Structure 1
Amino acid sequence: MTAPAAEEAPEGVRPAGPGSPAAPADATAPGTPRTPGADGAAGEGAGPEEERTEERTQEARAAQRELFAHTPGFILGDTAAFGGSLVGGAQHGVSGGRVDGDVYMGGRTEHHYHGPAGATPDATGEIPRARLDALAAVFADGPAFAGALGRLREERVLVLSGAHATGRSAAALMLLHRLGVPGVHALDPETTPGALAGRLTRPGGHVLRDLPLSRNRPLRDTHLYAAREQLEKSDGYLVVTVENSPHLPGIAPCAWEPPGAEDVVRAHLSRYGRAAGEVERLLALEPVAGFLAADRQPAEAAAFAEALAAHDGSAEALARLADFGQAAVEKRCRDWLGDPGTDLRDKAFLISLAVFDQAPYVLAAELADQLYVHFQRLQHPEQPPEIPVFGPAAADRLAFARAEGELRGEATEWGPVTQFTAGFREERTPRVLLTEVWTRHPSARPALVAWIGQLARDGRPLVRTRAAAATAQLAAADLPSTMALLVDRWATSRAVGPRVTAANTLTLAQLLDVPVVLRLLTQWCSDGHAGRRWTAIRAFGLLAPLRPDLAGAALGALAARARADAGNKAEHDSLTESAALLLSGGPGRRRGEVLAEFVRLLYLDTPAVRDLALAAFVRACDNAEDGALVGWYAESGMYEADAARDLATLWRTALGDRAHTRAALDALRLWVHVGGRRADAAHALELLLPALVITADDRKRLDHELRTLRAEDGGPRPPLADHLLTALHPAASAAH
């Protein structure tokens, strides 16, 4: 075979062509015919026919992104980070058409700007002194404040990192305020790291809140050096707030820890003029103790302090304080659903809003009417269902539901759009309401099951994901019934779509700590039904980035399945995709541990498991998105000796294995292209390539790939390829 540029291809290198494995299929296009069973009915049996379906599965990473993007905050609120950007917590500071701070929306932080169409946020402006003084009067320092203040005074520039809704933005303002600067200027959050120094020309304080960072937009130590030089010239100080992020190469951020809820409440009560003795009396009230016993964020504590300051000792005032607690939420939900005087359509809207909390209002309203139809058919089967074309105004419906709506800018695949979103004021309401209707009103179950099954077949990703999230909450309330009526029927469907929903449901159920889910997934990995096996395999892949502590168990279950049935290609592909997800996200230390497990499978297991480990590793490497293995290695993995060694072992083994050589070379080509865009990735490749060479064939294979490499647009060989050739042949380079 003659390779391009008249170079002879080394043994084991085959050009990609018509016979090469195809790329994973995208999601089914709208209008694609669905096979029988797509509605969630149980399949009739496991076998080859079940694997051949007209509906093709989404590529696993795309399905994973869809799940994380649209899952409600009450599930993802306490989840560990995925890909360096998840997770912050529930929504706080949103009310009345305005937004205070950052708002976490199911897998990403949205920055909302409100105003006339076409308006842009203020670029830079001085924060009014009165606002700073008012904040200072109620601000509680917290355990990290003193250390942060010392660093800022000495270094002039400070990066304050912390989780969402922990008060880091208020802390940034107060750090500058305590320095006694003549003024504090707010910088445009869209200021790029490279342009930061140029914005610091005025004396005083500067704050850049919620700087968005990513693999392609990191904040580097060089940016801070330039900023510090400018601040010294202008006698200024700068605080940058970010979410916990891996995209801070060379920077040691100051980790922000919020003050305790009791400290926040005390500070606000003092501001409201309550004397010390009266403060202690108020804090001793039973509803207050119950509120402070839970883990509270500063915004919640501040709102509670306002209600507590208004307490006048009456029974009504005490009841208002109790309204902040779980019991009040449960009673309200019971009253809503149990009151015979409440219209059936209103009850349908409440349930729909619980499923679509903090989502576009139009979805909650539209799909509430579909649920209303199911309720009518259940309650009056002899009458045709009717939906009034025009009903109550949105403001009236939200007021009844104790919910709020506002216009928010939201990113979509087509660009930013404005949506009127709605959500309950009390964030616990969705979980309580879904539990209440499922466990206290069993007569409503047939309608709910039919409705949720309808949502799971919807063409909109947000709707499908919310169907899975709602079902996960139902499973937390009553697992056996939820499995029988919904999840198992989806898992045993002939079509892939319902299986995806089943996998998503079980993934989210585990995040809600539903008992026995892990045991169920492990059993399903060896189940006689192919649909249940597929569902469990996908769920394990989805779980590990969200719960890195489960990565070992997930990989063990996938390996066990590979041992049991090495000849099923469709199942092997599913196993490969799920195992690749284990390396596609999660904190650095855990990612290194997973790499070590992959290496162990190369030497201590069967050929089928070895093949799974190599195929999954190559699949994970063939990815340049946020959170991908190449970005992690460039940012942290290359500095961890064990992780770097294990990564080199897997690369070397995959490149030398005939079954995986071509795919591995394709993935390596992607890494070189990434290195052409990122200096840290280029440096990582310089260190990696020599570690991949043990034999003359290893060197020849890599040499051939680099010499025949073309730019991403098909142009001439990129300069980085020449540089890497020098790293690959150090002796020849030294001779010249």
Structure 2
Amino acid sequence: MREADPETPPTDGRTDGKEAENSNAKPRGGDTPEPATDISRNPDTAEQDDKNKQDEQTQQPEQTTDDDLLYETRATAASMYDAVDAMRGIPPGARHVFIHATNFIGGDATIGTQVGRDNLGNTTNHRTVARGEVTTERLERIRRIFVEPKVFQDIRRRLGAQSLLLLRAPQGWGRTTVALRALDEESTTSVYTLEPDVELRSLEIEFTRHTGYLMESFGPDQAVHLHRFHLEQLSGRLSEQDCLMIVLLDNATALPPDLGEFLVDAGDPADTTELVRNHVRYRLDRDPAEIFDLPEVGSLLDRYIRDRPAARVLAQLGDELADVADERTEITEVHDRHDAAIGEGFRQWFDEQPSLEARAFTIALAVFNRMPLYIVSDAARTLARVIASEEQPDETPAWPVFGSRNSELIAAARARSYRSTENTIYGEIPVHVVEFTDPSYPPKVLDRVWQEYHTALELVRDWLRTLGSSSDLRVCVHAGVAAGLLSTFEFEHARTVVIEPWARSGTRYNRAAAMAALQFPFLYSDLAPLVSRMLDTWLQRDQPLALRVTAARALGSEIGQAMPETAIPRLRRAARSTRFSLRLAASFSMAQLFWSGGLTDRILSELLRWTRPAARPRLRDTGLRCVLALSRYRRVRTEQGLLEWPVAVCLTGTRREAIIALFARLMESPGHPPDTYAEIQDWVSIAEKDPNLREPLARFLFDLGNAMQDIEILPYHLKEWATEPKGPRRAVQELLTILDSMGRVDSKQLDSKERTE
């Protein structure tokens, strides 16, 4: 199928769960009826709805199914994790945690509870702004590796006397670690980080008693409007709840002169040698004295003491020295990597690349680190031709067919190649993957281009913009992440030249690139408040539809996961839109948030709100679509399952009550039952292959029938499915037997109760 514009109203198809696990395989299509429409449309808006639908349908003659776009949503998310991790030097798979049924089974959290209150029942103007609780594991790790800077005891003393503190320190100083350690020492319960766009001047903040709060992003746009009065009010609110808050500021952030009692300047950072030593001790769980006697370690520490790097670089050095102590690597390799990454070593290496091809390959590898060699080589060849055309505009560059060898280019880039596998629609295939030997190189290479080579930067930016339109989703996502990293140096220029044109284009690949480009400025710089406001602007009704859909999709990524109390109301607004593609994007983003750590209960409570009978018709339709989307998005692993199971069957407690209520509403809503039955039929097909699923599935179907007040309809469909060619006969037979048994038991319990009464 030719690429279809995602702004067209997709139709509902079916996705094979196993194929959806394949990052490059396209899910199978199915029948494509028109999407379910709202049965109770307002006559005043019906004509506009029809016009909107016609406008969307005329944008592209061919259509994609709902499952095509849901698959794309999941594949984009996985690619963004990979691309961001590769750019940040995080080991492959470190953040990829498989969702196991135990994440859901036994989870009896109250629906709607978020940081100590019920969001649905709240009638005050306060809102929770906690970005997420800092785990006890992270706090314990900080405790064990922590080295006090000189200012630390002053920070503790000030927190003992006042509830609010502004800590001013440069990025890389270790300010987040110091703040978390101080809050952990002084708080009696837990520590939370705040959403990046929360206004300190606002009184619409709810605090949980005896809790510490950290605000990691406080930009100059907030500081210019901040006055002593606001901080005194905020400090009073914190004191009332026995809470503490630390706000982190850059050295360059100017503050009014009357805030001195709230401000602490960081001064010198923690001792470099002791910080590295503690990281090694933490990894080895013993004193690493012998490692620090090595001359290579001494020379590295001397350079780092003289030219203090970011705290994360010292942490990385500590981890690598632990590997040396455990004989997993050689000290010479560690020394060479760090020697190449600091000072003149790195700059000379990049500036003295042996050829245009080698330099283009190095830049391409910075963008596509840990990707197959053929992707890196193709991108490098394109960039080399662009550079050659700029250097010799009147000549067509000639490229020797047997020019630079791959081995030479990889060696010149200080990289390595290894065998791996790649998933395709036909299964796994072997590939050669290439990566820098030093995982810190990708951002350093792009930073070097930005700092020193203006003309080359323009060419690289144009090259990335072209790659963002690639038909390979991984290519456009990696290009987007690289453009996003460069945007942290010059966001407004990157926004207008690259990011926003991608977002406005309306193609799925450009959209993925735009979403990927926003991850770095939002999550890893002080631009988070700006990005948040920009997305809010993109969602406005007067903006182009493609821009609105991009914003809604971005709110399902890590951006929305980092600020759920901001993202969810924005998605709710999008879910009421007259534009079907925007509502669909909102439903997919809500499904993504459902699978995010800690947001399952919040999303279920929101969907119960969206789908209640009194809800607006379009909002209700979006919520019902989201229920199916979150079910199709992923299966879960169970200890007793031979295959992965549907998530709805694995939920327990109030989560189970919520999902059953939502599926009952799906069954009872005009237009949605066919898709719902198709989804349940998929579950029965899994049960045909995995007998262990049959009893849990039967219990779910029994409870669903009771919720619908129709215990006959599901057995009727089970029998119909069993009669189809190659139908799930064994599973249906056992399911019917269990349902019949449960029905008799239920009747006996009811009769006994009636006799007692």
TM-score normalized with structure 1 length: 0.60
Amino acid at match of 1:535: T
Q: Does 1:519 align with 2:504?
A: no
Partner deviation per Cα, 1:606-651 (whole Å, 9 max, x = no partner): 332122111211233346645899543444x22xx22112112211
Q: Does 1:561 align with 2:574?
A: yes
1:420 corresponds in structure 2 to 432
Q: 1:582 aligns with which of 578, 593, 607?
A: 593
CA positional deviation for 1:376: 1.9
Assess, with a 3 A threshold, how the Cα gap between structure 1 residues 644 and 266 changes in structure 2: closer, same or farther: closer
CA positional deviation for 1:654: 1.6
Amino acid at match of 1:90: I
Assess, with a 3 A threshold, how the Cα gap between structure 1 residues 415 and 655 changes in structure 2: closer, same or farther: closer
Corresponding residue SS for 2:432: strand
CA positional deviation for 1:429: 0.6
Assess, with a 3 A threshold, how the Cα gap between structure 1 residues 601 and 549 changes in structure 2: closer, same or farther: farther
Q: 1:52 aligns with which of 52, 59, 75?
A: 59
Partner deviation per Cα, 1:41-61 (whole Å, 9 max, x = no partner): xxxx99926961257558233
Paired residues of 1:538 and 1:578 also in contact (CA < 8 A):
yes
CA RMSD between the two structures: 4.6
2:198 corresponds in structure 1 to none
CA positional deviation for 1:479: 1.9
2:304 corresponds in structure 1 to 287
Corresponding residue SS for 1:699: coil
Amino acid at match of 1:591: T
Assess, with a 3 A threshold, how the Cα gap between structure 1 residues 77 and 49 changes in structure 2: closer, same or farther: closer
Partner deviation per Cα, 1:291-312 (whole Å, 9 max, x = no partner): 78744487523356699x999x
Q: Does 1:300 align with 2:290?
A: no
CA positional deviation for 1:722: 0.8
Assess, with a 3 A threshold, how the Cα gap between structure 1 residues 724 and 310 changes in structure 2: closer, same or farther: closer
Q: 1:536 aligns with which of 544, 548, 551?
A: 551
Amino acid at match of 2:591: A
Amino acid at match of 2:546: G
Assess, with a 3 A threshold, how the Cα gap between structure 1 residues 472 and 304 changes in structure 2: closer, same or farther: farther
> Gaps (5+ residues) in structure 1?
1-19, 30-44, 80-88, 92-102, 110-142, 145-258, 312-316
1:212 corresponds in structure 2 to none
Partner deviation per Cα, 1:177-217 (whole Å, 9 max, x = no partner): xxxxxxxxxxxxxxxxxxxxxxxxxxxxxxxxxxxxxxxxx
Amino acid at match of 2:397: P
Corresponding residue SS for 2:466: helix
2:90 corresponds in structure 1 to 90
Between the aligned partners of 2:556 and 2:637, the Cα distance in structure 1 is 15
Between the aligned partners of 1:732 and 1:693, the Cα distance in structure 2 is 13
Amino acid at match of 1:405: S
Q: Does 1:616 align with 2:635?
A: no
Q: How does 1:358-373 map to 2 (within 5 A)?
A: 358-373=370-385
Paired residues of 1:411 and 1:417 also in contact (CA < 8 A):
yes
Corresponding residue SS for 2:430: strand
1:200 corresponds in structure 2 to none
Paired residues of 2:502 and 2:510 also in contact (CA < 8 A):
yes
Between the aligned partners of 2:343 and 2:686, the Cα distance in structure 1 is 52
Assess, with a 3 A threshold, how the Cα gap between structure 1 residues 671 and 556 changes in structure 2: closer, same or farther: farther
Assess, with a 3 A threshold, how the Cα gap between structure 1 residues 732 and 430 changes in structure 2: closer, same or farther: closer
CA positional deviation for 1:351: 0.4
CA positional deviation for 1:480: 1.5
Q: Does 1:662 align with 2:692?
A: no
CA positional deviation for 1:424: 1.1
Between the aligned partners of 1:535 and 1:366, the Cα distance in structure 2 is 28
1:468 corresponds in structure 2 to 480
CA positional deviation for 1:522: 2.6
Q: Does 1:723 align with 2:713?
A: no
CA positional deviation for 1:430: 0.4
Between the aligned partners of 2:87 and 2:365, the Cα distance in structure 1 is 22
2:122 corresponds in structure 1 to none
CA positional deviation for 1:658: 1.9
CA positional deviation for 1:483: 1.5
Paired residues of 2:470 and 2:509 also in contact (CA < 8 A):
no
Q: How does 1:438-453 map to 2 (within 5 A)?
A: 438-453=450-465
Paired residues of 1:269 and 1:279 also in contact (CA < 8 A):
no
CA positional deviation for 1:581: 3.2
Partner deviation per Cα, 1:237-288 (whole Å, 9 max, x = no partner): xxxxxxxxxxxxxxxxxxxxxx94235579696667959xx99989975637
Between the aligned partners of 1:490 and 1:50, the Cα distance in structure 2 is 21
1:596 corresponds in structure 2 to 605
Assess, with a 3 A threshold, how the Cα gap between structure 1 residues 707 and 405 changes in structure 2: closer, same or farther: closer
Between the aligned partners of 2:384 and 2:708, the Cα distance in structure 1 is 71
Paired residues of 2:572 and 2:619 also in contact (CA < 8 A):
yes
Paired residues of 1:491 and 1:532 also in contact (CA < 8 A):
yes
CA positional deviation for 1:668: 2.5
Amino acid at match of 1:472: G
Between the aligned partners of 2:513 and 2:300, the Cα distance in structure 1 is 46
Assess, with a 3 A threshold, how the Cα gap between structure 1 residues 716 and 615 changes in structure 2: closer, same or farther: closer
Paired residues of 1:348 and 1:369 also in contact (CA < 8 A):
yes
CA positional deviation for 1:555: 3.0
CA positional deviation for 1:371: 0.3
Corresponding residue SS for 2:739: helix
Between the aligned partners of 1:429 and 1:443, the Cα distance in structure 2 is 21
Q: 2:584 aligns with which of 548, 563, 573?
A: 573
Percent identical residues = 19
Corresponding residue SS for 2:609: helix
Between the aligned partners of 1:415 and 1:696, the Cα distance in structure 2 is 41
Q: 1:435 aligns with which of 447, 450, 454?
A: 447
Assess, with a 3 A threshold, how the Cα gap between structure 1 residues 284 and 652 changes in structure 2: closer, same or farther: same
1:344 corresponds in structure 2 to 356
Q: Does 1:708 align with 2:728?
A: no
Assess, with a 3 A threshold, how the Cα gap between structure 1 residues 420 and 306 changes in structure 2: closer, same or farther: same
TM-score normalized with structure 2 length: 0.58
Assess, with a 3 A threshold, how the Cα gap between structure 1 residues 292 and 709 changes in structure 2: closer, same or farther: closer
Corresponding residue SS for 2:420: strand
CA positional deviation for 1:595: 0.9
CA positional deviation for 1:533: 0.8
Paired residues of 2:53 and 2:580 also in contact (CA < 8 A):
no
Paired residues of 1:264 and 1:302 also in contact (CA < 8 A):
yes
Q: 1:489 aligns with which of 501, 523, 546?
A: 501
Assess, with a 3 A threshold, how the Cα gap between structure 1 residues 569 and 69 changes in structure 2: closer, same or farther: closer
CA positional deviation for 1:552: 4.7
Corresponding residue SS for 1:417: strand
Q: How does 1:109-258 map to 2 (within 5 A)?
A: none
Between the aligned partners of 1:459 and 1:310, the Cα distance in structure 2 is 41
Paired residues of 2:464 and 2:479 also in contact (CA < 8 A):
yes
CA positional deviation for 1:404: 1.7
Q: Does 1:673 align with 2:672?
A: no
CA positional deviation for 1:354: 0.7
CA positional deviation for 1:597: 1.8
Assess, with a 3 A threshold, how the Cα gap between structure 1 residues 395 and 656 changes in structure 2: closer, same or farther: same
Between the aligned partners of 1:61 and 1:297, the Cα distance in structure 2 is 41
